[in-house]
Amino acid sequence: MAIPAQKLLVFVAYAVLTGIMTLSVRAAIDAPIFIFGDSNVDVGTNNLCKECGAKANHPYNGIDFPFSKPTGRFSNGKNIVDHIARLLGKYYKLSPPPFLALLSHKSTFKRNLLRGANFASGGAGILKETGFKHFHKVITLEEQIEQFATVRENITELLGSPKATDDLLQSSIYIFNVGSNELIEYPFAHNTSDPEELKQYIANVTQTYAIHLMNMYLLGARKFAVIGIAPLGCAPAARVQNATGGCAEFMNDGARLFHVSMQSVLTDLSLMLKGFKYSLGNLYTVTMNAIDNPRGNGFKEVISACCGNGTTDCKVGVNLCSNRDDYLFWDKFHPTDRASKQAALALVYGEGSKC
Ligand SMILES: *[C@@H]1O[C@H](CO)[C@@H](O)[C@H](O)[C@H]1NC(C)=O
Ligand SMILES: *[C@@H]1O[C@H](CO)[C@@H](O)[C@H](O)[C@H]1NC(C)=O
Ligand SMILES: *[C@@H]1O[C@H](CO)[C@@H](O)[C@H](O)[C@H]1NC(C)=O
Ligand SMILES: *[C@@H]1O[C@H](CO)[C@@H](O)[C@H](O)[C@H]1NC(C)=O
Ligand SMILES: *[C@@H]1O[C@H](CO)[C@@H](O)[C@H](O)[C@H]1NC(C)=O
């Protein structure tokens, strides 16, 4: 029987959740969460990477975070992985801290690793060259995984046995949200009106993603929660490329192709690698639903950015909306705290879960 795509996603998302819940209660609250990706899930990595140019450690970012603190999140408050972490267990109020922040406190470093770490770096992509042209430096997905490999050694040192490390890392959850920057950079090097070229590019990107996920499996990861790409063509920065102000279709085509391609990549990995469990969150559909039906999703503005506009970044002195919860987009590419919360609810509990 063919399972409708959306149901399947919900089902697989539940497979990961059920996986946590069938462990003992202690294990459930102790299972670390590790996060990899780009600015959608960066919680301050780039603040600690001097040369990394994609930074959100300045207002108005963080205006709705406790103490209106700019934390490095590209959001008025929390981002999607903060909300997902919170939904995965009462133990987490937010994403675990950046790996680089943990590393700067040597005395607590190893103990803190038992709650997980966030390796995500704004501007990063799946391909090793992505991000460098626009942001000077990013911490690539490959480098993020190398950092995780050192974390594995540090945890083994702490727990005193490779077996204990394997058990812990197999019960951990690995959240990936990356790929947007490949689409953002696409027009600079490709013909945006050739669908065949886009298809080949996406295939290359998702095959490269598969290699990264396989490396994570070899390092002991088993529970993969992969978040797809939002309809980036409808982001304020993309709409300005369209004379009518409509969505940039090639970007949305790319985001949909990415999802379909990741479905087969993840299916293949799960058939090939024993114990490989995954969920693939359809961020495209979840976000598009809000764009198509703003009121039904509690939004008043799903086209323009709350802070800045399609051509201007969010920073002090640009326009800033006062009713942040009414907006889908915080800045020219990233969602608001509220939009992220709603997406997290839909990805974890299924479509239709509202704030
Ligand atoms: C973590 O492990 C790496 C790789 O073995 C090592 O170089 C590093 O010193 C360790 N860090 C700490 C704080 O023990
Ligand atoms: C871009 O792709 C379109 C559609 O395949 C084609 O007609 C056009 O010649 C291409 N342009 C360039 C510059 O290659
Ligand atoms: C993707 O393309 C690059 C360069 O075009 C190539 O070096 C690389 O091997 C390709 N990767 C895959 C997985 O096809
Ligand atoms: C621009 O937006 C319109 C809808 O307003 C859409 O029909 C069209 O395909 C878009 N053009 C491009 C190049 O994406
Ligand atoms: C975007 O914001 C900048 C700076 O505030 C302003 O100069 C520009 O006109 C705005 N663009 C649009 C399309 O509103």
Say if CB 60 and CB 315 are below 8 A apart.
yes
pLDDT in tens, 32-45: 999 999 999 999 99
Q: Residue 30 above 70 pLDDT?
A: no
pLDDT at res. 25: 32
pLDDT in tens, 233-285: 999 999 999 999 999 999 999 999 999 999 999 999 999 999 999 999 999 99
Domains of the chain: 8-349 (3.40.50.1110)
Query: Which residues form the pocket of ligand 2, taking CB atoms under 6 Å from any ligand atom?
Result: 191, 193-194
pLDDT in tens, 210-232: 999 999 999 999 999 999 999 99
Q: Residue 27 above 60 pLDDT?
A: no
Query: Which residues form the pocket of ligand 1, taking CB atoms under 6 Å from any ligand atom?
Result: 106, 109, 150, 153-154
Q: Residue 106 above 60 pLDDT?
A: yes
| Geometric angle at alpha carbon 38, from 203 and 267, rounded to 5° | 40
Q: How many Å is the Cα radius of gyration of the chain?
A: 19
pTM recorded for the entire structure: 0.93
Say if CB 155 and CB 169 are below 8 A apart.
yes
Closest C-alpha residue for ligand 4 atom 3: 246
> Higher confidence at residue 116 or residue 22?
116
Residue 144's pLDDT band (boundaries 50, 70, 90)?
A: very high
Q: How far apart are CA 324 and CA 306, in angstroms?
A: 7
> Higher confidence at residue 2 or residue 158?
158
Using the atom order of ligand 3, give the atom closest to the CA of residue 208.
Answer: 13
| H-state helical runs in the chain | 5-21, 25-30, 80-88, 99-103, 106-113, 132-135, 141-159, 162-171, 180-189, 195-218, 236-239, 249-272, 283-292, 337-349
Query: Which residues form the pocket of ligand 5, taking CB atoms under 6 Å from any ligand atom?
Result: 309, 311-312, 318
Q: Which ligand is nearest to the CA of 241?
A: 4
What's the token pair of residue 253? Answer: 């085509």
**Which residues, 6+ apart, have CB-to-CB distance to 275 below 8 Å?**
170, 222
Residue 353's pLDDT band (boundaries 50, 70, 90)?
A: low
What's the DSSP call for residue 60? T
Q: Residue 23 above 80 pLDDT?
A: no
Q: Which ligand is nearest to the CA of 198?
A: 2
Q: Residue 12 above 50 pLDDT?
A: no
Q: Residue 139 above 60 pLDDT?
A: yes
